[in-house]
Amino acid sequence: MLDRREFVKVAATLSTAFGISNLPEPVRAALKKIDPATIPKLIYLQGQSCTGCSISLLQAESPSPLTMITDYSQLSFHADLSATSGKQSLELIEKFISGNAGDYILAVEGAIPEDMPEACVIGERTFASYLEEAAHTMTAAVAIGSCACDGGIPAAEGNQTGAVGLQDFYSKRNIEKIVVNIRGCSVHPDWVWHTIVQLVKIGLPQLTEEGSPNLFYSRTIHETCPRYHDFQQEIFAKKLGDRGCLFKLGCLGPQTKADCSTRWWNGGCTWCIDANAPCIGCASPTFARKKDFSFYRINKKG
Amino acid sequence: MKIDLGPVTRLEGHLNVKTTINNNIIEDAQCVGEMFRGFEVILRGRDPLDAQQITQRICGVCPYAHAIASSYAQENAYNLDVTSNGRILHNLIQGANHLYDYLLHFYQLSALDFVDITAILQYGGKDPDLVKVREWVKAELASGKTYPAAPFLPRLSGKYITDAEVNIGALKHYIESMEIQKKANRASAIFGGKFPHATAIFPGGCSQTPTIDHIASYQALIHEVRNFIHQKYIPDLVAVAQTFPEYWDIGQSKGGFMSYGLLPLGPQSDSKRLIAPGILFGNNVSPVQLSAITEDVKYSKYSSASGLAVKDGELVPEPKKDTAYSWVKAPRYNGQMVEVGPAARVLVDYHQGNNSRITELVNHFAGIAGITPDKLNSVLGRHLSRAICAAVIADFVLDECERIDPDKPGGTEIEIPESGEGYGTTEASRGALLHYIRVKNHKVEKYECVVPTTWNCSPRDDRGNEGALESALIGTQVENPEEQIESVRIVHSFDPCLACAVH
């Protein structure tokens, strides 16, 4: 995880990359206008992923997804949106990864099959080999979603590919690169896009011990849950569909750090607990990891 | 000449297509799924109620289809009495998910194969969205960047739409559709808790209790989506079809068609469905027998036995297997290859005369295009079939709202037996989706999924017969063998999802 010294180092690197390093701090913070020439280019690669995080990114309200990939960043490559395809797209990716197309931020969705590199290939080259090469040329990496951060479901107990998250992948190779971890299965679009806004306008955000932006991940879901009052009054849902605190049905809000309880989902219209669905801890570094740690306490005989 | 088309973009996941070209004709094509995770093994030994959550993560584009298939399978395994509300909420969630998926597929995943994005440079109107895009593209092209205007450029060479008005209209709708798809997803999240990956879906229904304000919001959102479908999506599709009529004859798959049927009209597991199930060979439709499905692995990267029935499925990866070229298995129906997906859904229903609206829409559009219904087996046919499904589903879910019993539970109490087994079948937007669960000691003993793109992007089976997409590519004439925009259009018409296919 990042210590203070690394933090400052990275902040400096990122500021240089975005061309705002010469400005005094208050000016930088107050910077309103974004220079199109210095917005970060994103190379978005998918590993052992389900594309759910990409789809979630399209659910952003304000700024809109289109604004995010044109005004605040440039999405130089994304397998789901890019017009380019095949060999042409491989040339584009390889030009960036080899350091021949300027500065870029690597965005990664999905886990990396550490014990079975053939389990994820792009253009006959392993996904792992792209990540190894990119480590030497990228400004920083953003791990998008629980798979990219910690391995997620591909890394769940009993998996056959030895799936890991990006930070682990780099640590095992003694590669020191900054990885900003945006957890969630899927991520909330704001968590990613607003981190990018922060990177563009101010610089590296404050990160938690787990390397996630403080802004979204500093408190547990339980602490700010609208049903916290029910919890205090011991008004508990006893069966699925009941209102009240969902703790006794297995809600993982008390150990999951994310701001779903105040941000809500899909344009703020709803979220899991408002639909009486216990939190399954999808933003937790240990999401779905153990077979015996089931999502619910509903199957009493299990 | 051998040309790899991978990575094929604007689809879900990791797909390569290896082609052999002779005299500008595709002589051979191999679909290569390039990513493996092993969900079926990960699920073993877990609490069965984890399954409708875990399996949604097979695919973040159509997670709800997996939640529904898993719920149906569990309902059968637990002998659960599903309430009317429970089934309706499942339908509302899944229906809305189909609508978003069709729009995403037509605009974000397919439109750039046909629409000329550079037409924006000539735009002289005052629409603020389009003016903004025009100025952005201009600035990008003048910027001296290595890749200006990415992700919209560069693109493959080929013939694009030349009519400026059609191009500009489609680009405007590309932007608008990004807003509209959110509304469809917001509608499904009202009952599903969130999108993607709904947490409120369970076997038997939802944890959300439907109230009148939920219903009113859902209907309002779907009305907007429905308007977009009729006023923009369908006219844009017709314009593409008029510009590229040759694509009614390009991309035919050469097997049968299978659909499990979509959206049950009652709570029982054997209820009639809005879109009827069946298997179609020639003009004959028969009921689907799940026992007729087996999965071959001679050309797939597994050392486990080939030709196993679904409930006996095994999954032992062998990444360096000599004969194999894909992580996708090769499912077959009585040993025969079938296409699944929107065209299968519509053709299987049409041949049974089940849903009168489908019959009417097929005849209507076939009339406009001057085609026979069998031409739904083509690039344009698959696109049209999606639009027909969209129109039918949008009307159905709006009506379905009126049948909700407000303020009554959206689900039912679940008791998981010591042992049991069940199949769940539905139609994901990409086609026939099957889940199988076997419970023992209150845990998952076995879980198997046979997913739409497993059928469509299947490699050769043990006897060497190609999968649906492979068969649709072989024989196609391509102008530029290095890039093959024709092949990319064929691939996109199937809307492959490789995370689903391999899982």
Domain boundaries, chain A: 4-215, 219-302
Write the CB contacts of B213 (distance below 8 Å, at least 6 apart in sequence): none
| Chain B interface mutation, best of A44, A51, A109, highest count of B Cβ atoms under 10 Å | A51
Q: What is the mean pLDDT of chain B?
A: 97
Q: Specify the pLDDT at position A19.
A: 45
Write out the two tokens for B219.
């209907």
Q: What is the number of residues in chain A?
A: 302
Chain B stretch 146-165, residues whose beta carbon is closer than 8 A to a beta carbon of chain A: 146-147, 150-156
pLDDT tens-place string over residues B392-425: 999 999 999 999 999 999 999 999 999 999 999 9
A50 and B499 within 8 Å at the Cβ level: the answer is yes
Q: Which residue has the tokens 């205007």?
A: B149
Model-level pTM greater than 0.80? yes
Token pair of B59 as six digits: 């695919």
pLDDT by residue (tens digit) across B315-343?
Answer: 999 999 999 999 999 999 999 999 999 99
Which residues on B lie below 8 Å from A66 (Cβ)? 175, 178
B38 part of contact set with chain A, CB < 8 Å: yes
* Least confident stretch, A188-202, B20-34, B95-109, B296-310: A188-202
Q: Do residues B32 and B6 touch, judged by C-beta distance below 8 A?
A: yes
A260 is catalytic: yes
Beta bridge partners of B33: B15
What CATH superfamily is the domain B36-144+169-476?
Answer: Cytochrome-c3 Hydrogenase, chain B (1.10.645.10)
Specify the pLDDT at position A300.
62
User: Is the interface score ipTM higher than 0.95?
Assistant: yes
Q: B81-116: per-residue pLDDT in tens?
A: 999 999 999 999 999 999 999 999 999 999 999 999
pLDDT for residue A38: 80
Q: Do B8 and A84 touch (CB under 8 A)?
A: no
Residues 6+ positions from A263 with CB-CB distance below 8 Å: A188, A190, A216, A271
Q: What CATH number labels A219-302?
A: 4.10.480.10
Site from A34, A55, A159, A249 to mutate, B interface, most B CB atoms within 10 angstroms: A55
Task: Let me know: does A151 contact B29? Beta carbons within 8 Å.
Answer: no
Domain residue spans of chain B: 36-144+169-476
Helix axes B234-243, B356-369, angle to 10 degrees: 40
Q: Is A222 a catalytic residue?
A: yes
Q: What confidence tens digit (pLDDT) does each residue in B212-261 have?
A: 999 999 999 999 999 999 999 999 999 999 999 999 999 999 999 999 99
Q: Which residues, in sequence order, are CB contacts of A184 under 8 Å at separation 6+?
A: A53, A56, A145, A146, A191, A258, A282, A283
**Percentage helix, strand, coil for chain A under 3-state DSSP, each rounded to 5:** 35, 15, 50
Report CB contact under 8 Å: A58, B182: yes
pLDDT at position B26 is 98
Residues of chain A with pLDDT under 50: 1, 4, 8, 15-21, 302
B252/B466 Cα distance (integer angstroms) = 13
CATH superfamily of A4-215: NADH:ubiquinone oxidoreductase-like, 20kDa subunit (3.40.50.700)
Is A245 an active-site residue?
A: yes
Predicted local confidence at residue A202, as pLDDT: 87
User: In the prediction, which pLDDT does A29 show?
Assistant: 52
Q: Considering A147, A149, A188, A194, which one is annotated as catalytic?
A: A147
pLDDT of residue B363: 98
Rounded percentage of chain B residues whose pLDDT exceeds 70: 100
Interface of B with A in 284-323 (CB under 8 A): 301, 315, 317, 319-320
- Burial grade of A34 (CB within 10 A; 0-12, 13-18, 19 or more): middle
Identify the pLDDT of residue A34.
75
How confident is the model at residue A28, as a pLDDT?
54
In the A/B pair of chains, how many CB contacts fall below 8 A? 300
The mean pLDDT value for B426-447 works out to 98
A120 assigned to active site = no
Q: Is the pLDDT of residue B68 over 80?
A: yes
Task: Reply yes or no: is the peptide bond before residue B203 cis, omega within 30 of 0.
Answer: no
- Sign of the Cα torsion B374, B375, B377, B383 reads negative
